[in-house]
Structure 1
Amino acid sequence: MALREENFVVLHSGSWNTKAGINVVDTNKPPAVTIRSLVGARTVVAEPTEAIEVDDTSKPDESTENTTADDSENADIKVEKSEQDSELPTVTQEQAKDQESNKPQTVYYCGSALTEAQQQYPDSELTVSTPIRNGIVDDWAAMEALWRHVLFRELGIKRSRNASPVLMVVPTDWTKEEHERITQIFFENFNVPGLYLAEEPLMTLYGCAAVTGLVIDIGHNKTEITPILDTQIQRNAIQTIPLAGADFDSYFLELLKADAQLVREYGEPLDLEFARHLKESSVCQVLGKDEKENKNRAQAEYNGKEFTVGSARYKAYEPLFNPDLVGKRVLNIIEAIHAAQLGCKAEKRQSLWEAIIVTGGSCQVKGLQSRIQSEIEDSLTVSENFGEFQVREVKFLKIPDYFPALKDSIVDAGFLGSEIVAKLIFPDPRNYINKVDYNESGPSVVHTKTF
C-alpha cells in the first residue's frame, strides 16, 4: 500500500502538552493539535440495566475514551479491538458484557471531554494526572488513552481503515522496553500501517536546518542539554538537570506573594496557574548583565482583573542560573552546557558553540537567550591568539526564514523537523517499521528499524 503525504502523522507527547499533526504536504504550519498531557480516569461498574457512559460530545465515528479492566493482567495495554468499540459514543449492555463489564472498568477522559468530566464529576470520582512524569511514562494505560484520543478524535483517523503512518517523537532517555511497548500499542491497538521513532533533540536540530549543534531543552520538569555531531547524538555527553518550568512557577509564585501591592490589587489568593500565566506573558523578562530593572510597575491582567507587578517579574528564571534559590544542589545551566561540551572531542567543540538552540516550553521569555549567551561568553577562555581549539564565537540557531509561519516559534522546531523527516522516510517501506516487519519480528523490530 502506497502511503500518501496527506496521511502522515507526527505525534509528540511531553510532560506538559501533546502536539500532533496530519498531512505534511505543507510543513510551514504549526501543529494541528496541541492539548495538555492530562488524562482523567474514573472507575465504573455497569449495572445490568445500564450502559457504560463515555463522552456524549464525541463527534460521529470518533472515540474519546478508553475502557480497560483493572484486574486484567494486561490492563495497561488492553483497548477495544473492534472499529465499533472505538467509534461509537456509548458502550451498549451487550458490548459491556463482551468486555467483562460486570467488573470494574476504567473510563478515560482527554481534551475537551476531560474539561466536561471535571465539571460533571467530583474530585473523589475523577482522578486527573499526567501520564509522563519527569520525562518518563508513569501510567501506560493513561498514555495510551491520550494517544487514542489524539489519533481517533482530534485527527479523525479511522482505526479499521487506518492509512496513517506515525512518526513518534521520543526523548533520548526512553529505554528499549519503552520503545517496544510503543511499537506494540501502535500496531496492535491503533492498527497503524507504519511507525518510526525519532529522538526529540535531533528533530529540533533538523527543524533549524542543521545536523550539528547543541540543543538546550528547558521543559516542565527538567532541562536537558544534548550535543549532536553530524546527526549523531553524543549520549555520553548529555546533561540533564532536574530544574525547569515547574521550579520557575513555584519560585515566581513566592515572589509574587511577597509583593504586597499586587496581592492587595488582585484581591484573591495567588496560585500556580496565576504565576504560570504571568511567567508566560509579556510581563516577565530575563535581564542581561548590563540591563537594569525598570522601577515602574508593569500592568497585567488575569481572569478579567487588572493589577501591577513589581520587580519580581525580572526574577522568575533566576533558579536556572542559581539553583540554590529553589533548594537544589545541581549544576546551573551554564555549568551544564560546559559539561556537555567537555564530553565531546576537543576538535568538535567549536562547531557546537556556533550552533546552539534554546527550546522547550520555558524558553520564550524575553531576554533568556541573551542572558545565556552573555554568561557563556563570560565563562569562556579569552585570548588574543586563537589556537586550534579556541572558541571564536557563540552563535544561536533559529528556524529558517523560509518557514514564515514558524520562524518566530522555536518551540515548534522539533515538530517541523519531524514533519520533514516523515516526508523523507515514509515513501520507502525500507525506512520505517511496517506491518510485515512487525508481524515477522514483533515489538523488538524497533531496535533494528528506527532512528
Structure 2
Amino acid sequence: MSLVFRDHQILVISPGSLTTQAQMGLAESLVPALLETQTKVYRDGSRFATTGSEDQAVWPLKQGEIADEAAFHFFLKSVYKSAVRADAVLPPALYLVSSVAWNRRQLEGLTRYLFEEVGVPALSVCMSGVTNAYAYATANALVIDVGFEKTEISAVVDSEVNLHASRIAPLGGNSINTRLSQLLPDLSETQVEDLKLSGIVETLLGDTTLAEQAEAEVRGKGEEDEGVIDVAAIVSSGRTREILEQRERELKGQVPEKKANADLDQNTFTDRDGVEHTVGRERFNIGHKLIASIIDTVALVHADLKPRAQQQAWEHVIITGRGSAVPGFKVKLLARLEEEFLVSRPPLMPEPIPNDAATMGRQTPSDSDYLTQVPTTIRLAKMADHFPEWKPKGWDTAGFLGAQIGAKQTFTSGFENLFLSRQDYNEVGPSAAADY
C-alpha cells in the first residue's frame, strides 16, 4: 500500500538563483508562496551559517546551475528545518522544484543528503517546466521562464520535460537592470530596480505598448455602451455623488485625457527611500539583448523536437518568470517568436507552389514541405480562472502554483510510484531519484 500524506504534511520548495519560494502545507485554495527568502548562506571557515557578513555570503545557484553543492545542501536543510514545527510527529514530505541545468550526479548527491542528513520521509523532484505546465493545465508546452540571470526554455511533452530539447539562455531579467544602469549611470543599483518595477519602464512593440493595446481593446468594447450608466454599480460603490460629478465633467470635456506612458518624453518614479526621479525615453530602450538571446535559444529547442511535438509545444507557449514582468515584454517577445518561427501556409492552389513562396521568419519551406513544417500557429497558454488569490499578484510566479498542484497529486492521491519514500531509498539508494 502506498504511503499517503495529508495536505499539512507537505513542504514545497522552489529554489531560484536570487530567491527561493517555499510553503509548508497546502491550503484548500492554493495561494502564492507564504515564504520567500534569498538563496544564500554564509561561509564561516569550513562551515556554513544562515547569518553573517556580506563578504561571507555564498550564492549556491548561478544561472540555474548548482555552483556550490555543499552550500546548496545546507541552504535546503535550513529552509526545511525552519518549516518543521517543533511538535510535528512526522517531518513533511518534500516536493522540490528543479532545473534542467542540474545533472544526474548532483541530483543523486542531493537525494542522498536529503534522506540521510535532513531526514525527509519522502521526496519528489519536479522540473520547473512541468510545474509551469501544471499551472496552465496543459500536458504540452514551450515554457520560457525568465529568471534573474538566465532564461530556462523547456519543451514539455506529455507532462515531461524533453531534456534533449531544453536549453538555458544566458541572460535573464537582470540584463534589463544592466541596460538601465548603462543608460542612467546616476542611479544606484537599488534605484534601477525600483525604476524597473515602477511601471514606467516598457518594452515597446513598434509605436505602441502593451498597456496601450489593452486600453484600446477596452475602449473598443465600450464604444457601443457610451452614455450608458451602470446605476447599480454606482450606488453600491458608496461614491454616488463623486462618480456622477466626475462623469458630468468628463462629458463637458473638462477632464483632459491622461497621456499613455509611451507618449511621455519624461516620467517620474519614486524609489524605496521616497526620493522622486525623472527619466526620459531611454526607459524604453531595454530588453533587446534578452529577447535576442531567447530567440536564439528557442531556435535550438525547436530544432531538437519532432514535428508533432513542435506544433503541440507552440500551441501552448508559456512566458513566465519575474524577468518577464516588465510591461510590454511578453507582447514583444511573442511578436518576435511569430516573426522568426511562424510558417505562413498559403491557401490551396491548383498550381504547384513555387520554391520561393513567401514565408515568415526562419522557416522557408518548399512546396513539398508545407505538410511537415511547423509551427503554423503560435498561441499563448491560457491560465484558468479558478485561482482568485493569484490574480492580484499576477502569473509571473505561476510555476509555484503548479508545484502545489503537483505536490497535491503526488503525495495525497495514494497512487504507487509517484515519489521516492524512505523505504524505496533504503532499497535502491540515491540512483532511484531519476525515476521520481
Under TM normalisation by the shorter chain, which class is it?
Answer: 0.7 to 0.9
Q: Which position in structure 2 is the counterpart of 1:206? A: 134
Q: 1: CA distance between counterparts of 2:161 and 2:394?
A: 23
Question: Is 1:135 equivalent to 2:64 in the alignment?
Answer: yes
Pick one of 89, 100, 121 that aligns with 1:172: 100
Partner of 2:322, secondary structure, is: coil
Pick one of 391, 394, 405 that aligns with 1:409: 394
> What is the identity, as a one-letter code, of the residue corresponding to 1:376?
L
Pick one of 193, 205, 209 that aligns with 1:288: 205
Q: Which sits farther off after the overlay, 237-246 or 180-189? A: 237-246
Question: Is 1:242 equivalent to 2:170 in the alignment?
Answer: yes
Instruction: Confirm or deny: 8 A CA contact 1:250 1:272 kept in the other structure.
Output: no
Cα 1:447–1:107 shift into 2, 3 Å: closer
Q: Which position in structure 1 is the counterpart of 2:289? A: 319
**Stretches of structure 2 lacking an aligned partner (at least 5 in a row):** 210-261, 349-369
> What is the identity, as a one-letter code, of the residue corresponding to 1:276?
E
**Stretches of structure 1 lacking an aligned partner (at least 5 in a row):** 44-69, 71-105, 258-262, 264-269, 323-331
Instruction: Confirm or deny: 8 A CA contact 1:8 1:24 kept in the other structure.
Output: yes
Partner of 2:430, secondary structure, is: helix
Instruction: Confirm or deny: 8 A CA contact 1:289 1:374 kept in the other structure.
Output: no
Partner of 1:446, secondary structure, is: helix
Q: Deviations over 1:248-297 (max 9, x none)?
A: 2222111112xxxxx4xxxxxx3323222222331211101242843431
Instruction: Confirm or deny: 8 A CA contact 2:23 2:34 kept in the other structure.
Output: yes
Shift of 1:207: 0.8
Q: 2: CA distance between counterparts of 1:37 and 1:345?
A: 37
1:184-199 equivalences in 2 (<5 Å): 184-199=112-127
Question: Is 1:366 equivalent to 2:331 in the alignment?
Answer: no
Pick one of 195, 209, 219 that aligns with 1:278: 195
Q: 1: CA distance between counterparts of 2:107 and 2:309?
A: 30
Q: Which position in structure 1 is the counterpart of 2:156? A: 228
Q: 1: CA distance between counterparts of 2:108 and 2:88?
A: 22
1:329-340 equivalences in 2 (<5 Å): 332-340=293-301
Q: Which position in structure 2 is the counterpart of 1:6? A: 8
Instruction: Confirm or deny: 8 A CA contact 2:63 2:149 kept in the other structure.
Output: yes
1:363-402 equivalences in 2 (<5 Å): 363-379=324-340, 380-385=342-347, 387-388=370-371, 389=373, 391-402=375-386
Instruction: Confirm or deny: 8 A CA contact 1:27 1:419 kept in the other structure.
Output: no
Question: Is 1:431 equivalent to 2:415 in the alignment?
Answer: no
Q: Which has the higher contact order (CA 8 A, sep 6+)?
A: 2
> What is the identity, as a one-letter code, of the residue corresponding to 2:344?
V
Cα 1:342–1:289 shift into 2, 3 Å: farther
Shift of 1:30: 0.4
> What is the identity, as a one-letter code, of the residue corresponding to 1:289?
G
Q: Which position in structure 2 is the counterpart of 1:103? A: none
Cα 1:336–1:133 shift into 2, 3 Å: closer
TM (normalized to structure 2)?
0.75
Shift of 1:313: 1.4
Shift of 1:158: 4.2
Larger gyration radius, structure 1 or structure 2: 2
Instruction: Confirm or deny: 8 A CA contact 2:42 2:49 kept in the other structure.
Output: yes
Runs of 4+ in 1 over 4 A off after TM superposition: 158-161
Q: 1: CA distance between counterparts of 2:428 and 2:335?
A: 51
Partner of 2:152, secondary structure, is: strand
Q: 2: CA distance between counterparts of 1:230 and 1:399?
A: 18
Cα 1:426–1:201 shift into 2, 3 Å: same
Q: Which position in structure 2 is the counterpart of 1:440? A: 427
Instruction: Confirm or deny: 8 A CA contact 2:16 2:39 kept in the other structure.
Output: yes
Question: Is 1:310 equivalent to 2:276 in the alignment?
Answer: no
Q: 2: CA distance between counterparts of 1:286 and 1:339?
A: 25
Q: 1: CA distance between counterparts of 2:297 and 2:68?
A: 30
Partner of 2:184, secondary structure, is: helix
Shift of 1:173: 2.4
Q: 2: CA distance between counterparts of 1:27 and 1:418?
A: 14
Cα 1:158–1:185 shift into 2, 3 Å: farther
Question: Is 1:298 equivalent to 2:279 in the alignment?
Answer: no
Q: 2: CA distance between counterparts of 1:391 and 1:442?
A: 43
Q: 1: CA distance between counterparts of 2:321 and 2:276?
A: 29
Partner of 1:411, secondary structure, is: coil
Shift of 1:390: 5.3
Identical aligned residues as a percent: 25
Partner of 2:390, secondary structure, is: coil
Partner of 1:214, secondary structure, is: strand
Partner of 2:323, secondary structure, is: coil
Q: 1: CA distance between counterparts of 2:382 and 2:30?
A: 14
Partner of 2:28, secondary structure, is: coil
Instruction: Confirm or deny: 8 A CA contact 2:95 2:407 kept in the other structure.
Output: yes
Instruction: Confirm or deny: 8 A CA contact 2:69 2:106 kept in the other structure.
Output: no
Pick one of 37, 41, 49 that aligns with 2:43: 41
